[in-house]
């Protein structure tokens, strides 16, 4: 702290101070005061001649005239051998308690004052652990004590403990008066500890006439209020008078500006991180009582209080209910899911509160600092911390249940991991779920069905694609034939081994859709079933464009069950296409093509070049067999080729994820649902065309916004909200005449006959989904 430059100019004092070394050491101070002697006073910083006016101004109105009001109870922690207490006593303030952890100096001061100042109290006591009653003093007067505790190499721990004690022993309307050199690390702690429920001001202590010391002494005053109000800190001094002290003045100005900016943000910001101490003194009201709809964030633990520190969000349910299962609960969000809208947005967090059945929910957001800790360690570490946030003061023994955001996976195996420059980290994984839905287990009876998933790490909570894996029966049959035709015993054994190995192989089964939202998308074809039937009966082709390949499961399924469908898929990332081919059995042919291109540019250019009788071919992008034709520029371009036109798009499906979580949508990217793009889509579709969007959002406000935009563009709009899912599938129709809602069941049966399913359960699932389709316009 550079204390050698802060002392009296007396050479003997300076020499003695060099023996101290650590200003927080009791032994060092005992030695210092023993050498100095009992009659030689030692004052940090300013002397009484400079202090008496500002101090007496603060204490005026009490003490000098005891008959008019009770005398001030004054505490002087870290009193040392200073004459400050003696001067105050002589000025009329008789109720003064002095404490210091040096037994030597307390004995000396007691002997020095026992006759002339008999009412003065002297006690050996550590100022960081005061053995004093709560709210028992009107003034705590510190002269250099906090500065001494705040040795930079020791950190703020002792200073933090000391200031907590100061706050505890002060009465309401009491004052903490801190005489300090106002170093930045001292002010940072001092200002932050007295934010809520304290009125603060900073004063400059007057200098001696014709004196310009290198360092000025300042007086920081914090007055305790009965409310938890937040005030700006008042700077009650002439800033120009500090010009000569350079760095000290700059540090003070900077500390004041930073703290007042923080306080301003606290006043207007909804997501300020409070300290537990601020909250316990009422920064957000009385925590022992539930307050409907109250929400705040804080940092729990750390600073030696616990093994870890945690970001916590406390939410009191918006509605009072006798149906709460828990009075208070803890919900732990693992790092891998912390970014999800459900846990990162206020709207999503309230949904978690509702589903938790807790009157107060404490949501704990884990981060990378908790990576190597198991959940038992974290719960053990959190238990004493969360009890301080539980409503009700007298039931500390009550158990607080811990809940966690899980994924229901029993087994997980990473099959492949790759880093794409466009999509980021992508994982292919095989999983076995703890529970499998009936519509899967009926056609595929097995205790441990395996599903292959494509996961984009940028949105780990969203599984981009999911496929069912089954045994490769074709490989099994081939091996059996080889086994029958083999005449050699050794060959038979070899074939048997190959048979055993092959029978264990798993492959993606493309005749079943594992994702409910994919089934929902297909159920929307019901809205144009008559058109599909007429096209199929006349041998005409229905043209579909799917924006977003993923693992290629939707186009492969449609390719297998709708022979009349001509499918073009647009995928931005060539790495995704490679993964679909290599790990999900995706394969192109003449009825199924893939273009590596920007989906929005693709649709816009198709619209630009579309004519009444045909849709031009696409050049400059990869075709179904990996061949690329040149284009005039680097982007996707569209041009006529040898007068060969193709019909307009009949079905356009948007099934892409969003890399921007701030939009409130996991799917699609926001640009796919802006009004300008929706108008482009409408111009691209045929007269009977159908536009389908897979919308993934937990925000009702976001869903309402997208629906409003689509209503403004399309002649008819339908929706399918999947149960227990955040997917909503929207269907926009261009035709003037539209299927009536009560005709949907008949149309569903019509579609069921058109689609060639290998499993009856799939057709039934589509019919069941159509029952949930609702007209929005």
From CA 346, how far away is CA 294, in angstroms rounded? 11
Residue 147, C-beta contacts closer than 8 angstroms, at least 6 positions apart: 1, 44, 180, 181, 183, 186
Dihedral angle of Cα 432, 438, 444, 447, to the nearest 10 degrees = 40
From CA 515, how far away is CA 709, in angstroms rounded? 27
Do 8 and 217 meet the contact criterion of CB atoms below 8 Å apart? Answer: no
CA distances from 389 to 143, 309, 315 (A): 35, 15, 11
Backbone angles phi, psi at 484, to 5 degrees: -70, -35
DSSP 616: P
Task: State residue 306's pLDDT score.
Answer: 81
Give the position of tokens 């420059």.
421
From CA 230, how far away is CA 266, in angstroms rounded? 8
Backbone angles phi, psi at 88, to 5 degrees: -65, -40
CA distances from 664 to 352, 518, 696 (A): 16, 21, 9
Instruction: Choose among 527, 490, 534: nearest CA to 690.
Output: 527
Residue 730 forms beta bridges with which residues?
693, 719
Q: Which residues in the chain come in under a pLDDT of 50? A: 1-17, 63-64, 66, 394, 474-503, 611-646
Specify the 3-state DSSP secondary structure of 515: coil
Task: State residue 710's pLDDT score.
Answer: 94
From CA 128, how far away is CA 198, in angstroms rounded? 21
Count Cα neighbours of 770 within 13 Å in the Cβ-side half-sphere. 27
From CA 139, how far away is CA 73, in angstroms rounded? 6
**Where do the DSSP E strands lie in 559-648?**
565-571, 592-596, 618-619, 637-638
DSSP 58: H
Q: How deeply is 470 buried, as exposed, middle or buried, from its count of CB atoms within 10 A (0-12, 13-18, 19+)?
A: middle
Do 259 and 222 meet the contact criterion of CB atoms below 8 Å apart? Answer: no
Q: How deeply is 155 buried, as exposed, middle or buried, from its count of CB atoms within 10 A (0-12, 13-18, 19+)?
A: middle
Backbone angles phi, psi at 277, to 5 degrees: -65, -40
Q: Which two tokens stand for residue 24?
A: 């927080």
CA distances from 580 to 419, 585, 592, 622 (A): 15, 7, 14, 15
- Angle at CA of residue 655, ends 637 and 712, nearest 5°: 85
From CA 441, how far away is CA 764, in angstroms rounded? 15
Q: For the chain, list the domains and their CATH numbers.
A: 26-36+43-54+71-268 (3.40.50.150), 274-404 (no CATH), 516-609+646-775 (3.40.50.150)
Sign of CA dihedral 208, 211, 213, 216: positive
Describe the strand order of the beta sheet including 773-775 as a list of residue ranges: 592-596, 565-571, 542-547, 649-654, 685-696, 727-733, 716-721, 773-775
From CA 508, how far away is CA 502, in angstroms rounded? 15
Backbone angles phi, psi at 238, to 5 degrees: -85, 110
Specify the 3-state DSSP secondary structure of 628: strand
Q: How many residues does the chain have?
A: 777
Give DSSP secondary structure letters for 350-385: HHHHHHHTEEEEEEEE--GGGTT--HHHHHHHHHHH
From CA 525, how far away is CA 531, in angstroms rounded? 10
**Element (H or E) spanning 123, and its range?**
strand 121-124
Task: State residue 634's pLDDT score.
Answer: 39
From CA 45, how far away is CA 145, in angstroms rounded? 11
Residue 451 forms beta bridges with which residues?
431, 468
From CA 205, how far away is CA 190, in angstroms rounded? 18
DSSP 766: H
Largest CA distance in the chain: 122
CA distances from 178 to 45, 70, 201, 252 (A): 12, 23, 11, 15
From CA 777, how far away is CA 772, in angstroms rounded? 15
């Amino acid at each position: 702290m550079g204390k050698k430059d802060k002392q009296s100019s007396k050479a003997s004092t300076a020499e003695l101070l060099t023996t101290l070394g650590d200003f927080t050491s009791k032994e060092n101070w005992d030695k210092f005061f023993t050498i100095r002697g009992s009659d030689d006073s030692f004052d940090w910083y300013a002397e009484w001649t400079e202090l008496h006016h500002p101090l007496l101004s603060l204490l005026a109105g009490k003490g000098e005239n005891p008959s008019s009001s009770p005398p001030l109870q004054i505490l002087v922690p870290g009193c040392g051998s200073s004459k400050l207490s003696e001067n105050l006593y002589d000025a009329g303030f008789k109720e003064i308690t002095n404490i210091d952890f040096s037994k030597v100096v307390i004995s000396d001061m007691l002997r020095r004052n026992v006759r002339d100042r008999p009412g003065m109290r002297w006690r050996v006591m550590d100022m960081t652990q005061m053995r004093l009653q709560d709210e028992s003093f009107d003034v705590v007067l510190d002269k250099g004590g906090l500065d001494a505790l705040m040795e930079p190499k020791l950190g703020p721990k002792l200073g933090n403990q000391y200031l907590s004690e100061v706050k505890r022993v002060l009465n309401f309307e009491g004052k903490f008066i801190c005489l300090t050199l106002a170093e930045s690390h001292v002010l940072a702690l001092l200002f932050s500890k007295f934010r809520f429920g304290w009125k603060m001001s900073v004063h400059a202590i007057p200098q001696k006439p014709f004196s310009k010391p290198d360092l000025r002494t300042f007086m920081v005053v914090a007055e305790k209020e009965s409310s938890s109000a937040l005030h700006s800190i008042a700077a009650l001094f002439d800033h120009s008078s500090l010009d000569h002290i350079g760095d000290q003045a700059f540090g003070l100005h900077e500390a004041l500006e930073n703290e007042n900016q923080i306080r301003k943000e606290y006043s207007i910001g909804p997501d300020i991180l409070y300290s537990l101490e601020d909250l316990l003194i009422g920064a957000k009201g009385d925590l022992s009582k539930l307050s409907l709809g109250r929400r705040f964030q804080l940092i729990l633990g750390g600073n030696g209080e616990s093994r870890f520190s945690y970001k916590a969000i406390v939410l009191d349910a918006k509605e009072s209910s006798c149906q709460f299962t828990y009075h208070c609960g803890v919900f732990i969000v693992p790092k891998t899911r912390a970014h999800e809208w459900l846990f990162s947005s206020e709207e999503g967090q309230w949904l978690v509160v509702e589903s938790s059945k807790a009157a107060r929910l404490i949501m704990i957001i884990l981060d990378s600092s908790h990576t190597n800790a198991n959940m038992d360690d974290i719960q053990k570490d959190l238990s004493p911390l969360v009890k301080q946030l539980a409503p009700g003061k007298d039931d500390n023994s009550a158990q607080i249940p811990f809940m966690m955001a899980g994924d229901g996976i029993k087994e997980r195996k990473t099959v492949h991991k790759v880093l794409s420059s466009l999509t980021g980290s992508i994982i292919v994984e095989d999983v076995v779920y703890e529970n499998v839905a009936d519509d899967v287990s009926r056609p595929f009876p097995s205790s441990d069905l395996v599903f292959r998933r494509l996961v984009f790490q940028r949105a780990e909570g969203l599984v981009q694609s999911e496929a069912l894996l089954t045994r490769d029966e074709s490989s099994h049959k081939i091996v059996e034939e080889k086994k029958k035709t083999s005449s050699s015993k050794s060959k038979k054994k070899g074939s048997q081994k190959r048979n055993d190995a092959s029978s264990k192989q798993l492959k993606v089964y493309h005749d079943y859709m594992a994702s409910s939202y994919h089934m929902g998308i297909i159920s929307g074809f019901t809205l144009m079933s008559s058109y599909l039937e007429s096209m199929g009966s006349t041998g005409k082709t229905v043209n579909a464009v799917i924006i977003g390949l993923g693992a290629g499961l939707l186009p492969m399924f449609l390719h297998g069950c709708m022979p009349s469908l001509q499918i073009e898929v647009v995928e931005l990332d060539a790495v995704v296409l490679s993964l679909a081919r290599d790990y999900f059995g995706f394969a192109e042919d003449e009825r199924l093509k893939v273009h590596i291109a920007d989906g929005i540019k693709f649709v816009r250019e198709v619209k630009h070049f579309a004519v009444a009788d045909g849709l031009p071919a696409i050049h400059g992008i990869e075709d179904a067999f990996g061949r690329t034709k040149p284009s005039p520029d680097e982007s996707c371009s569209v041009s006529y080729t040898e007068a060969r036109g193709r019909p307009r798009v009949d079905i356009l499906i948007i099934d892409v994820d969003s890399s921007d979580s701030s939009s409130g949508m996991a799917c699609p990217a926001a640009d796919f649902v802006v009004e300008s793009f929706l108008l482009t889509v409408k111009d691209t579709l045929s007269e009977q065309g159908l536009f389908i969007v897979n919308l993934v959002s937990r925000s009702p406000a976001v869903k309402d916004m997208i629906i409003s935009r689509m209503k403004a563009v399309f002649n008819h709009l339908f929706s399918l909200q999947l149960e227990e899912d955040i997917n909503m599938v929207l269907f926009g129709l261009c035709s003037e005449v539209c299927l009536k809602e009560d005709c949907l069941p008949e149309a569903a049966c019509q579609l069921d006959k058109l689609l060639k399913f290998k499993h009856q359960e799939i057709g039934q699932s589509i019919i069941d989904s159509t029952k949930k389709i609702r007209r929005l316009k």
